C-alpha cells in the first residue's frame, strides 16, 4: 500500500474496534476535503457548543455525525494571522506584515510557498478557495481594472472566488480567478486608505444616508447604505450587495463541488458571516432573538447546510472529510450599531472563557472545531485534546501521503490522530497571537506582561503586570485567578519555552 492510501489503514479502526474491509475496497480514492472557515464565530456561538437565542441545526448535525473538540484553537485572535497560519503551517509572527491587512495590501504568502492547498494539489487534488481571503492580492500596487497577480493560484489554488479583504473594507467587489467580477472599463475602480478619493458620500459626512450606522472607524465611502474602512471610486456595476453575499459565495462553492465530484477535491470555504457589517439576507432577518448578529449566525448555518446537502445529493459525503471552525473568537460591537450588545440576552459568545477577538485570553483563540468523516471519525462524541489549526497543513498532508519539503510548514505538527479522535491529548504546547504571544501547555496558560483587550468591545484594556499571568484552566477556565506567585517555577518554565519557540520552530 502506498503512503497515499495511509488514510485507509487509519480509517478501518473506529473507537478501537477493527473492522473487516474486503481487499477490493481498500484501494479507495483519496477523500475529498472541505474546510469551512467561519469569521468571528466564538466558542459558544453555535448550538452544539451552547448558543442561546439562535438555532444552528446544520452545524449541530455535523457534531452529531462527527467529533466535537472542546480545546481547539486558531493561531491568532484576529483574522489575517490565523488565515496565514492555517494555510502555511507557520505562525504569522515569524513574518513581518502579517497583521490585519488593509483592503489593498499585497499578498503576504509568497508565491511558491508550500501550503495546505499546494501539498494536496501535489497528490492530485483540485483545489479552490471561495469566500473571504484577507491575505492580500498582487504586489501592493493593485490595478483593480486588470489582472490581479499574484493571487491564490500562486500558492496552490486552482480556482478562487474572493471577497478580497473583509466586508467592511474597500474595494467592495468580488474577484474571480484574478479579475474583478463585473468590472467595467468605462467606470474604473480606485481605492485609497489615505486621502479621500471620488465623489461618493462618506458615513462621516452623510450619516443620514446610512442604513446601518457606524460606531467607530467605519466612516469612509458609503456602499450599499453602509460606510466602510477606506475610500472607493468607480466600479458601480461590480459592487456587491451585502444581503446577497452569503448566497453568492455558497452558490460558487456548490458549483465547484458539483464540477469536481469525480475527482478528489479540496474546498476552503470562507464565510463572511458573522463579521461586520452584519447584513443578513431578508429571509434571515428576525430569525433569532439577538438582532443581526444572531441572524447572521443562522445564515451561516444555512450555508453549511447547503454544502452538506450538496455532498449528500452527489453521494460523496461518505468520502468527504469536513472540518468546521473559526478564524478567531467573538466580538459584539466591532464598528457598527447593529444591536449586538443590546440584544445579546442569555447568550455567551465565548462560553465560559474570558475575552474574545483581539484578546490573548482563551476566548480569543478557543473556537469551535467539528470534524466529520463517516466511518473514520467517532460520531456524536467529543474530544478534549489540545489541537490547533496550525497543524492542519501537515496533518492533511500525512492523511493523503503528500511529501512535505524540509523547509515547509515549519510550525505544523502531524496531529492526525488527534483530529480523527484517536489521541485524547493532542499538542504539547500551542502559541496564541494577540498583540502579545501567549502559551498553552497542557492545562496551563501563560500570558506575559501586557495590556490585553478584555471583553467583547468596546474595549478597556486590563493590565497584566510583571512577571505575567499564569492560569490553571483545569480549575479556572475563565482565567480569573492569576497563579504566578503561587507557581513561580511553572511560570518561568513557560516563559522560557515561549522564548525558545519564538526563536526556533523545532521544539
Mean pLDDT of the chain: 94
SS (H, E, C) 443-499: CEEEECCECCCCCCCCCCCCCECCCCEEEECCCCCCCCCCCCCCCHHHHHHHHHHHH
3, pLDDT greater than 90: no
All three cell numbers of 35, joined, read 474546510
Parallel/antiparallel/unpaired status of strands 13-14 and 231-233:
unpaired
Cα–Cα dist 171/243, whole Å:
17
Helix (H) or strand (E) holding 245: helix 245-259
Mean pLDDT of 402-429: 97
Domains of the chain plus CATH, in order, are 3-47+57-180+243-292+300-339+352-419 (3.40.720.10), 190-233 (no CATH), 430-503 (3.30.1120.10)
Which letter does DSSP use for residue 116 in this model?
A: H
pLDDT at 13: 37
Predicted structure pTM score? 0.94
Count CB neighbours of 347 within 10 A: 21
* Nearest-10 crossing angle of helices 291-313, 245-259: 20
- Residue 73 has φ and ψ, to the nearest 5°, of -140, 140
pLDDT at 4: 42
Q: Which residues of 389-414 are buried (b: 16+ CB within 10 A; e: fewer)?
A: bbbbbbbbbbbbbbebeeebbbbbbb
Strands (E), 39-147: 67-69, 72-73, 126-132
Cα–Cα dist 416/261, whole Å:
24
11, pLDDT greater than 50: no
* pLDDT tens digits along 421-434: 999 999 999 999 99
Cα–Cα dist 137/174, whole Å:
12
The rounded Cα 189 to chain-centroid distance in angstroms is 28
Contact between 235 and 95 (Cβ < 8 Å): no
Which letter does DSSP use for residue 157 in this model?
A: -
Contact between 268 and 252 (Cβ < 8 Å): no
pLDDT at 28: 52
Residues of the chain with pLDDT > 70: what percent? 94
2, pLDDT greater than 80: no
The sign of the torsion formed by the CA atoms of 325, 326, 331, 336 equals: negative
More confidently predicted of 169 and 454: 169
Contact between 110 and 98 (Cβ < 8 Å): no
Taking the CA atoms of residue 47, residue 53, residue 57 and residue 62 in that order, the dihedral angle to the nearest 10 degrees is -20
Banded pLDDT at 368 (limits 50, 70, 90) = very high
Q: Hey, which residues does 18 pair with through a beta bridge?
A: 13
Banded pLDDT at 10 (limits 50, 70, 90) = very low
pLDDT at 504: 81
Mean pLDDT of 218-241: 98
More confidently predicted of 492 and 12: 492
Mean pLDDT of 437-451: 98
480, pLDDT greater than 90: yes
Q: Hey, which residues does 430 pair with through a beta bridge?
A: 440
* pLDDT tens digits along 19-55: 333 333 334 589 999 999 999 999 999 999 999 999 9
Parallel/antiparallel/unpaired status of strands 387-388 and 72-73:
parallel
Greatest CA separation for the chain? 71
* pLDDT tens digits along 132-166: 999 999 998 889 999 999 999 999 999 999 999 99
* pLDDT tens digits along 169-189: 999 999 999 999 999 999 999
All three cell numbers of 21, joined, read 474491509
Helices (H), 221-290: 245-259
Cα–Cα dist 338/241, whole Å:
17
Whole-Å CA distances, 171 to 37, 66, 128, 234, 390: 22, 38, 22, 10, 29
Banded pLDDT at 367 (limits 50, 70, 90) = very high
Parallel/antiparallel/unpaired status of strands 17-18 and 320-326:
unpaired
Strands (E), 60-196: 67-69, 72-73, 126-132, 159-163, 175-176, 179-180, 190-192
* pLDDT tens digits along 231-277: 999 999 999 999 999 999 999 999 999 999 999 999 999 999 999 99
pLDDT at 77: 98
Helices (H), 94-221: 116-121
Banded pLDDT at 104 (limits 50, 70, 90) = very high
Weakest mean pLDDT among 74-78, 82-86, 457-461, 472-476:
457-461
Whole-Å CA distances, 282 to 213, 235, 271, 286, 367: 18, 25, 18, 9, 28
497: exposed, middle or buried (C-beta count within 10 Å: 0-12, 13-18, 19+)?
middle
Cα–Cα dist 40/326, whole Å:
7
Cα–Cα dist 332/455, whole Å:
9
Contact between 235 and 3 (Cβ < 8 Å): no
- Give which of 2, 251, 254, 33 is closest to 126, Cα–Cα: 33
Banded pLDDT at 443 (limits 50, 70, 90) = very high
The size of the chain, in residues, is 507
Amino acid at each position: 500500500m502506498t503512503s497515499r492510501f495511509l488514510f485507509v489503514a487509519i480509517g478501518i479502526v473506529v473507537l478501537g474496534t477493527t473492522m473487516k474491509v474486503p481487499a477490493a475496497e481498500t484501494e479507495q480514492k483519496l477523500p475529498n476535503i472541505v474546510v469551512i472557515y467561519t469569521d468571528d464565530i466564538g466558542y459558544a456561538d453555535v448550538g452544539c457548543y451552547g448558543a442561546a437565542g439562535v438555532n444552528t441545526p446544520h452545524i449541530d448535525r455535523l457534531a452529531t455525525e462527527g467529533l466535537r473538540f472542546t480545546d481547539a484553537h486558531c493561531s491568532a485572535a484576529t483574522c489575517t494571522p490565523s488565515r496565514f497560519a492555517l494555510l502555511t503551517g507557520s505562525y504569522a509572527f515569524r513574518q513581518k506584515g502579517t497583521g490585519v491587512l488593509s483592503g489593498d495590501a499585497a499578498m503576504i504568502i509568497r508565491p511558491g510557498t508550500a501550503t495546505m492547498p499546494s501539498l494536496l494539489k501535489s497528490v492530485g487534488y483540485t483545489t479552490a478557495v471561495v469566500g473571504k481571503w484577507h491575505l492580500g492580492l498582487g504586489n501592493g500596487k493593485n490595478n483593480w481594472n486588470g489582472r490581479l497577480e499574484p493571487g491564490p493560484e500562486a500558492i496552490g489554488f486552482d480556482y478562487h472566488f474572493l471577497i478580497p479583504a473583509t466586508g467592511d473594507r474597500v474595494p467592495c467587489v468580488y474577484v474571480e480567478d484574478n479579475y474583478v467580477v463585473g468590472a467595467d472599463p468605462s467606470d474604473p475602480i480606485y481605492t485609497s486608505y489615505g486621502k479621500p478619493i471620488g465623489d461618493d458620500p462618506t458615513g462621516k459626512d452623510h450619516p443620514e444616508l446610512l442604513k446601518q450606522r457606524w460606531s467607530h472607524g467605519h466612516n469612509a465611502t458609503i456602499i450599499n447604505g453602509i460606510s466602510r474602512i477606506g475610500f472607493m471610486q468607480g466600479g458601480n456595476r461590480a459592487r456587491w450587495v451585502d444581503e446577497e453575499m452569503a448566497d453568492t459565495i455558497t452558490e460558487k462553492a456548490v458549483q465547484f463541488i458539483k464540477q469536481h465530484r469525480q475527482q478528489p477535491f479540496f474546498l476552503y470555504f470562507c464565510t463572511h458571516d458573522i463579521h461586520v457589517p452584519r447584513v443578513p439576507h431578508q429571509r434571515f432577518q428576525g430569525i433569532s432573538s439577538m438582532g443581526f448578529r444572531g441572524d447572521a449566525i443562522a445564515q451561516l448555518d444555512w450555508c453549511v447546510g447547503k454544502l452538506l446537502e450538496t455532498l449528500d445529493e452527489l453521494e460523496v459525503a461518505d468520502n468527504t472529510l469536513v472540518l468546521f471552525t473559526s478564524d478567531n473568537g467573538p466580538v459584539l460591537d466591532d464598528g457598527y450599531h447593529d444591536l449586538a450588545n443590546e440584544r445579546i440576552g442569555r447568550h455567551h459568545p465565548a462560553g465560559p472563557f474570558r475575552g474574545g477577538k483581539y484578546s490573548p485570553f482563551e476566548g480569543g483563540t478557543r473556537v469551535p472545531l467539528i470534524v466529520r468523516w463517516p466511518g473514520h471519525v467517532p460520531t456524536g462524541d467529543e474530544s478534549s485534546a489540545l489541537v490547533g489549526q496550525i497543524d492542519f497543513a501537515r496533518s492533511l498532508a500525512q492523511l493523503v501521503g503528500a511529501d512535505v519539503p524540509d523547509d515547509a510548514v515549519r510550525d505544523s505538527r502531524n496531529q492526525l490522530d488527534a483530529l480523527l479522535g484517536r489521541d485524547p491529548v493532542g499538542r504539547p504546547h500551542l502559541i496564541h497571537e494577540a498583540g502579545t504571544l501567549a502559551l498553552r501547555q497542557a492545562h496551563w496558560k501563560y500570558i506575559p506582561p501586557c495590556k490585553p483587550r478584555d471583553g467583547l468591545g468596546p474595549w478597556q484594556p486590563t493590565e497584566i503586570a510583571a512577571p505575567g499571568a499564569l492560569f490553571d484552566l483545569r480549575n479556572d477556565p475563565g482565567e480569573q485567578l492569576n497563579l504566578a506567585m503561587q507557581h513561580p517555577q511553572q511560570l518561568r518554565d513557560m516563559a522560557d519555552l515561549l522564548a525558545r519557540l519564538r526563536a526556533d520552530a523545532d521544539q
